[in-house]
Chain A
Amino acid sequence: MIKRDLVIIGGGSAGMAAAIEAKKNGIDDILILEKDGVLGGILNQCIHNGFGLTEFKEELTGPEYLSRFAEQVEEMGIEYKLNSLVLDVTENRIVTYSNAEDGVVLVEAKAIVFATGCYERSAGAIQLSGDRCSGIITAGTAQKYLNIHGFLVGKRIVILGSGDIGLIMARRMTLEGAKVLCVSELMPYSNGLNRNIAQCLNDYNIPLYLSRSVLRVEGKSGRVEKVVLAAVDDKMKFIPGTEMEFECDTLLLSVGLVPYVSLLDKLHAEMSSTRGAKVNDQLMTSIPGVFACGNCLHVHDVVDFVTDEGRDAGRGAANYIKGLSEKKKHIAIKPGNGVSYVIPQFIETDLNNDITFKFRVRKPVKNVFVNFKSGDQLVNKVVKPVLIPSEMVMIKLNKDKLTNLPIDEIEVSLEER
């Protein structure tokens, strides 16, 4: 068994930021475990631009953005192991990983940061109707085939789901010679960023059909031959007579991302409705010394915020190792009207810092107050002109407002203006 102060699981944007920040906060004995052959995680295949506006005030591609952090990791002498998958983590923070060089190794850590990213919901998870043929593929997998290996998964494409990866892939596949017939979205609004609808769909005259989903996939031959879409009513039931048929060879799925945390699940960490772990203001889970950040905590829309959250977790882990994060209180943060989740779920330490609340709304709203209430007491009230589910909202709360609460609970809710 080897010993490390801090083990970071995942060398993507969140993990690299956590490592760099922990090092800056005085933790020298760090090990990053990355399952792939390079640092950077999913950004390696996100070759489009749009990353780094907050971090660097410039627009970078995924590989450019990640390389800036990978270089820092190198320069700071932070140890990392590639092609190394974590097999197990125990409650007393023993991490088991496997790779070709070291074999299976146990590492005892003073703190662990989970930065394991997310995975795409599959055809099975959405219980897609129709034939079980090839050509039904998630957008991220198609992205890897195209941008890393140079292969198009199809030439005539229907996309289900208007999440950002689906939109980005609509443009990428069009540029590389495929015909994208349409994007179909179950909800009455898009789940992608507005700019991606503009520059990925509108620029290439790709129609976006809202409140429509896949009625069935036809592909008796073994490969997708046809996708039938139909409109849904407000109870998500298909409306007869609204079918639209598309002859195509591929159905690309962009139907949601889910935090990839089966190891935390196995530890019986308290889980949230985001399907990530519940965390406190230090981004520590219910398992002492185990932290989570980035897309494995909640799925982000902008990588710059992943980096920022990674830094928070790195700092949290450093505080924990140095014994600076003693729990002093337990204020539960709850989502209220119109809010699907809030992070952190608890405020527990008292480190004299303001706290940024991150949350998402359930559906698009205009002109609302965001209320922070503790019992009957209004702790804070913020006006927001537009909020949409695809954009994470961040509101900072002054530390002074967290003292003298009537009950140990804050609810974040929306109120019409």
Chain B
Amino acid sequence: MLDVIIIGAGVTGAFIARKLARYELSVALFERENDVGNVTSNANSAIVHSGYDPVPHTLKALLNVRGNQMFDEISDELDVHFNRCGSLTVAVSDEQMVMLYDLEKRSQENGVPVRILTAEEVKEMEPHINKEVKGALLAPTAGVIDPFNLVVHCVENAVDNGVKLHLAEPVIDIKDNGDYFLVKTSKGEYQAKVVINAAGLYSDKIAAMIEDIDWKLIPRKGEYFVLDHYDVGLVNHTIFPLPSAKGKGVLVSMTSSNNYIVGPSSEPIDDVEDFSTDSYTLGEIRRQATELVPDIPFNQVIRVFSGVRPTSTRHDFIIEPAKSNNRFINVAGIESPGLVSSPAIAEYVFENYVSKLFSLKLKANFNPRVKKYTRLNDMSLEERNEMIKKNPEFGKIICSCEKVSLGEIKELLERSVPPQTVKGVKRRCRAGFGKCQGGFCSPMVALILAKHYNVSPLDIKWDKESSNILKEEVKKL
């Protein structure tokens, strides 16, 4: 009998798992995908929002602001690139300036430090901004984070502290047996005293396994452009337009890796597995983005992608026990600002619910830090050479765009949440993230994976289960 089963290893499930790993509890984390943080957490704006935007006194407002405060420590403990670059919400008309003052008021109500900037100040900070700018709301606590490393490292830290991770194991049924839940997955049956539903786009289906629910998910798709990184300061902050009923609008931002991201759109969709992009929507994003930053170099686009957000009919985070059983906790509708809120959501779930269900003891040997990752690009020449002297594979570069070495890739494979796919390697160390998008290095990465897992290269996948890269080995004698 497990103490807790968490369903979903996205950013929410990851932080809940890490929070629970601090205590003497047996915890299992189930994920339907073959990697953690691979759905909504993998495809979003990667912004650590300041919290100026959510309606005051909502869970979104509360947890966003609290989450934001936690990120300096989290990024340090989990060894994730994080840059508190600040955000600018830009007004380009007098009418919008009026809205900006309303927003300033809302920020203050939410307890978010902000300042209204004059047009001149904005232009000085952001030379590429639309010359029609009238002013902007500066939120200095906003930041950008590596969302891929965030979830991987968070789950890794949870696993290192005793949480059991089950990948590629979707939950197909849950029975409430009174004292415990019987959780049936694609691979087996498990008993747990408490179930936490953090299943993202599938959280409605998981919740409905034990009772009728009075909320629905209306997933929204957002498409994006990613631009290559080059050392021209296109923008130095996250640049937002004024928010509207549809959300925070199309932003232009630097990322934690000094790429630039432009998007998202926001369209309701029926199919939660629709991650397609289309030229019409991208064209519309482009039009809106150039209203903020007219000279975005779209010839530097290296990738387009879409993410699907689990927006709910409640329009706020749903963090509450099931009506029929207070040991089944739904953590659903975690749309934007979900990424920034996630550590605070974990805290909230723990303090309000889980801590009341067990008599808890802190683990004596809990270690909040992941083992430091080797990132040669962050090192001095001397440090690099030290590394290469110890292991020459740190000298052999596999990804020439992002300058990732064989040693760094092989080191990933020895960690507690190792990548199994080419995309898994990319998300962890950026091999294949550059201008050629893995054109040169992906065959090498696939062969490294095949060798490590002792399988044929035919079995190596780009991403999900049926996404094999190769079809046939020819002329086998």
Contact = CB atoms under 8 A, between A and B. Distances in A.
Asked if the two chains touch in their complex, CB atoms less than 8 Å apart, one says yes
Given A100-B388, A100-B395, A103-B384, A155 B439 contact: no
Contacts of B389: 103
Contacts of B438: 141
B384 A104 contact: yes
Given A98-B384, A122-B439, A127 B396 contact: no
A154 interface: yes
B471 A119 contact: no
B86 to A, nearest CB: 26
**Most chain B Cβ neighbours within 10 Å, of A96, A125, A131:** A125
Contacts of A356: none
Interface stretch (B50-58, B342-350, B458-466): B458-466
Nearest to B303: A124
Contacts of B471: 151-155, 249-250
Interface string A127-162: 111111111011011001110111111110000000
**Most chain A Cβ neighbours within 10 Å, of B301, B400, B457:** B400
A296 B473 CA distance: 33
Interface stretch (A55-63, A219-227, A324-332): A219-227
A122 B437 contact: yes
A29 B49 CA distance: 55
Contacts of B400: 35, 85
A262 interface: yes
Contact of A177 (B403, B466, B472): B472
Given A100-B396, A104-B385, A127-B282, A222 B276 contact: no
B13 to A, nearest CB: 22
B372 interface: no
Interface stretch (B22-30, B208-216, B440-448): B440-448
A102 interface: yes
Given A99-B395, A151-B472, A119 B436 contact: yes
Nearest to A176: B474
A125 B384 contact: no
Contact of B468 (A100, A106, A134, A149): A134
A266 B230 contact: yes
B270 interface: no
B116 to A, nearest CB: 35
B305 interface: yes
B401 A151 contact: no
B297 to A, nearest CB: 11
B424 to A, nearest CB: 13
Nearest to A213: B279
Given A222-B463, A222-B466, A124 B392 contact: no
A253 to B, nearest CB: 9
Interface in B419-477: 435-440, 442-443, 447, 457-458, 461-475
A129 B304 CA distance: 9
Nearest to B465: A222
B275 to A, nearest CB: 5
Given A144-B443, A151-B458, A222-B465, A98 B474 contact: no
Interface in A45-99: 83, 85, 87, 96, 98-99
A177 B475 CA distance: 10
A302 interface: no
Contacts of B401: 262
Given A129-B278, A151-B470, A124 B439 contact: no
B132 interface: no
A120 interface: yes
B96 interface: no
Interface in A160-213: 176-177
A158 to B, nearest CB: 14
**Most chain B Cβ neighbours within 10 Å, of A85, A122, A134, A145:** A134
B470 A145 contact: yes
B437 A216 contact: no
B395 A102 contact: yes
Interface residues of B, number: 57
B442 A141 contact: yes
B416 interface: no
B393 interface: yes
A265 B230 contact: yes
A223 B474 CA distance: 20
B185 interface: no
B381 to A, nearest CB: 6
A102 B396 CA distance: 10
A120 B401 CA distance: 13
Contact of B436 (A103, A106, A122, A133): A122
B397 interface: yes
Contacts of A134: 461-463, 467-469
Interface string A216-257: 100011110000000000000000000000000110000000
Nearest to A217: B276
A355 interface: no
B282 to A, nearest CB: 6
Contacts of B279: 127, 129
Nearest to A119: B436
Contact of B276 (A35, A87, A103, A132): A132
B65 to A, nearest CB: 34
A98 to B, nearest CB: 5
B474 to A, nearest CB: 5
B231 interface: yes
B258 interface: no
B474 A151 contact: yes
B466 A223 contact: yes
Contacts of B468: 134, 223
Contacts of B277: 127-130, 132
A310 to B, nearest CB: 20
A132 B275 contact: yes
Given A87-B403, A221-B466, A223-B468, A104 B381 contact: yes
B363 to A, nearest CB: 38
A177 B474 CA distance: 8
B226 interface: yes
A123 interface: yes
Interface string B328-365: 00000000000000000000000000000000000000
A228 B470 CA distance: 22
24 contacts: A85-B397, A98-B405, A99-B396, A103-B385, A119-B439, A122-B303, A123-B437, A124-B301, A127-B277, A129-B276, A129-B277, A134-B468, A141-B440, A145-B470, A151-B458, A151-B471, A151-B474, A152-B470, A153-B469, A155-B471, A220-B273, A222-B467, A262-B230, A262-B435
9 residue pairs, one from A and one from B, having the closest CB atoms: A124-B303, A222-B467, A134-B462, A100-B392, A122-B437, A134-B467, A85-B397, A100-B395, A222-B466
Interface of B: 225-226, 230-231, 273, 275-279, 282, 301-306, 381, 384-385, 388-389, 392-393, 395-397, 400-401, 403, 405, 435-440, 442-443, 447, 457-458, 461-475
